[in-house]
Structure 1
Amino acid sequence: MRKIFLLCLLSFILLISCQKQAFDASKLQEPYLMVSHLKSSALTFIDLDKNEIMFSKDIRYQLTDLVSIKNGKVVATSRSEKHIFLIDLNIGTIEPIVKVNSGLTGIHYDYLSNLLFVADSTDNQIHIIDLHQNAIVNSVATGKFPTSFESLDQDIYVLNGESNDITVIGGDTYEEIQTFSVIERPAGMIIDNDILWVGGHGPYGKLNREIIGYDPHTGQQLKKIEVGLMPVAFWTVPSSRYLYVLCHGDHALYKVDKKTNEVTDVVAVGENPNFIWGNQGQIFVSSLDGNKVSIIDKERFQLITEVDVPAGPYSIIEEVF
């Protein structure tokens, strides 16, 4: 009887953990930020007019990455859960939609095809999910521990954090077409004006202070720029003169002039920052150990305020309908 009871209890817990959850979408006043958390099972919403939390919802999952798709909906991954999740901001729900694997990290969404690319760091694969069917339609082997994506001319670039390389997946065949080596223990990647920038921690015993620019077509190293300690994330837009580089080793955001390849300014942020997001007037940084979201005026490059949030803030997206 005891075994039967325990099995029933386990089944009940698993059932509860996979149910749709609700939150009060009427509280959302755009524009706002949505923040995932790696150290707490929270989803936090920040009012960008008041620069304060609207509310934070306990969702029973520790979400990793977030990506906006169509019609006010967001897809999220979790390193601990085996599903990807759909967040509907119109009606205020979050639910698991496709079972994939544990150890899911980065995600990339292709608007035209409605395909979602999910990095599986457990099996070292990229899973391609058709969001019309909510089903995996293909999987592609990568290097060890895939973490993040970029795209160029329909090809998908996957950064592999433990094999120190990039896997390029062809946008027409969805097969590997190229692999090239990058810095040791890489973290953070962005393609800007036909340069693929990569940051990272560098080799053990000699921590990295540079971002390195590669030719995305050949993998040839083109540029090096010295920034702060352990650059791990980037943000820019092609029309901007500046590239913003987040360094979690010295808890700072660096402003790099793309024309001169020099750092022009630095602003301090919270402890152990890992994620950056920006818009026309502001830049947002989450600090994993500082439990803050820093809001920075982009033009003056000065800290406006820091918003205290639940433990372990990570991924950020901005929603403006």
Structure 2
Amino acid sequence: MNWKAVMLVASFCFLFAGCDQKSLPLPDGNEPYAVVTHLKEPALAFLESGHKRPVRTEKIDEPWSEMVSIDSGRMVALAQTGTKLLAIDTNSGAVDELAQFDEALTAVTALPGRDAVAVADTKNSEVKLVSVEHGDVMEAFALDGSPSELLADESGLLFVLCADKSNVFVFDLETMEQVNSFPVSERPAGLFFDGELLWTGGHGPTGDLNSAIRGYEVASGEMKVEIEVGLMPIAMTGSREENDFYVVSHGDHHVYKVNRATQTVVAKAEVGQNPNYIYLFGNELLVSNFDSDTLSVLQKDPFKLTDEVSVGAGPYAISVAPGREDDGS
């Protein structure tokens, strides 16, 4: 299934000064759709499966640096300033300011099975859990370092990467307690938990750039596996139900398909310049190429690049909404 981008031609009224209504137009139909944020220019792109239309962009007043889907059918976006969270209803299009913060946040992740997100507060060296229903901070975890990346797993574990300390903290979301912390490679980036090992990559030390990903046992913090991929692997995605997962190396502009059982790279594909973000959507992978202003679409099996779509300047975060609920009419 090939993907083509289609930017909805509509006024994003809620984002412009002087407009009171806070809502955004959504794609027609009930099929899931992807949303891409842009950092070089304030814009959003909506992408629907199977369409063959040219890309169009619409300016908004402020870029969104992060966007995640919540189990309740909403999405949460982090404004680029880092001080504001927005909640988007993917059924009605309603947009509400969820929470304001005095200090800028740098990352957000959804908490599986919960109507909540975790956000990274680097200034105060802590992670906050925020209710999507009420917008209040439900819990905060203090850290010995500045959180740079977050990953919440369906098992109830929250992984917090602190790049400044080259360390990972592990929290149990049931007990709300820290269960472990352990060192990882220098200048780390990228997190993926396969149910057994926590994988991370990164840039590596200055002058000796990294080209490997490493798998760590969560209970002991011991590194169990090291696999060579491309230069500077900085993002990963996959499903714990499958043996393969996927790694973006933005130093050589490739995506690598890695098999956990054989602990080898089984395939690779070249994408655009400076890829930063990867999203797994069914049998396809979406990769945003920050410097090429494109979105690469890859097929999982057989693994290959199927499309390269122009989407506007500086595409970054990608998320997928479930589509509108059928009202029976």
The reply to whether TM is greater than 0.5 is yes
Q: TM-score, normalised by structure 2?
A: 0.85
Task: Report matched runs for 1:39-188 at 5 Å.
Answer: 39-50=40-51, 52=53, 56-142=57-143, 143-151=145-153, 153-188=155-190
- Secondary structure at the residue paired with 2:153? strand
2:43 corresponds to which letter in structure 1?
A
1:25 positional shift: 2.1
Larger proportion of helix: 1
Structure 1 range deviating more: 299-308 or 192-201: 299-308
Aligned counterparts, 1:227-246, within 5 A: 227-246=229-248
Following superposition, the deviation at residue 243 of structure 1 comes to: 1.7
Unaligned runs of 5+ in 1: 1-14
Give the direction of change, closer, same or farther, for the CA distance of 1:40–1:248 in structure 2 (3 Å limit).
Answer: same
Partner of 2:219, secondary structure, is coil
The DSSP-based 3-state class of the residue aligned with 2:273 is coil
Larger mean Cα displacement after TM superposition, 120-129 or 97-106: 97-106
Task: Give deviations 1:118-169, integer Å, cap 9, x for gaps.
Answer: 1123332111112232111222222224322233632211111221111122
Q: Which residue of 1 aligns with 2:209?
A: 207
Distance change in 2, residues 1:243/1:76 (3 Å): same
Distance, in Å, in 1 between the alignment partners of 2:224 and 2:59 is 45
Distance 2:295 2:136 in 1: 34
Q: One-letter code of the match for 1:213? A: G
Structure 2 CA distance for aligned equivalents of residues 65 and 18 of structure 1: 24
In 2, the alpha carbon distance for the partners of 1:92 and 1:171 equals 30
Q: Distance in 1 between matches of 2:127 and 2:176?
A: 10
Give CA deviations for 1:1-55 in whole Å, capped at 9, x if unaligned.
xxxxxxxxxxxxxx94997643322557733211112222111101221265675
CA drift of 1:273 comes to: 0.4
Which residue identity is paired with 2:131?
D
Worse overlay, 24-33 or 109-118: 24-33
Alpha-carbon separation, structure 1, partners of 2:246 and 2:165 = 26
Distance across 1 between alignment mates of 2:20 and 2:176: 32
**TM-score normalised per structure 1:** 0.87
CA distance in 2, matches of 1:220, 1:20: 52
Asked if the contact 1:19–1:96 (Cα under 8 Å) also holds between the matched residues in 2, the reply is no
| Number of aligned residue pairs | 307
Distance in 1 between residues matched to 2:110 and 2:44, nearest whole Å: 20
- Which consecutive residues of structure 2, in runs of 5 or more, have no partner in the other structure? 1-15, 324-329
Aligned 8 A contact 1:37 1:315 in 2: yes
Question: In the alignment, is the contact (CA less than 8 A) between 2:211 and 2:232 conserved in 1?
Answer: yes
Cα pair 1:66 1:77 within 8 Å, conserved = yes
Return the alpha-carbon distance in structure 1 between the equivalents of residues 21 and 161 of structure 2: 32
The AA in structure 2 aligned to 1:85 is L
Q: CA RMSD in A?
A: 2.3
Q: 1:114–1:130: 8 Å Cα contact kept in structure 2? A: yes
Q: CA deviation at 1:170?
A: 2.6
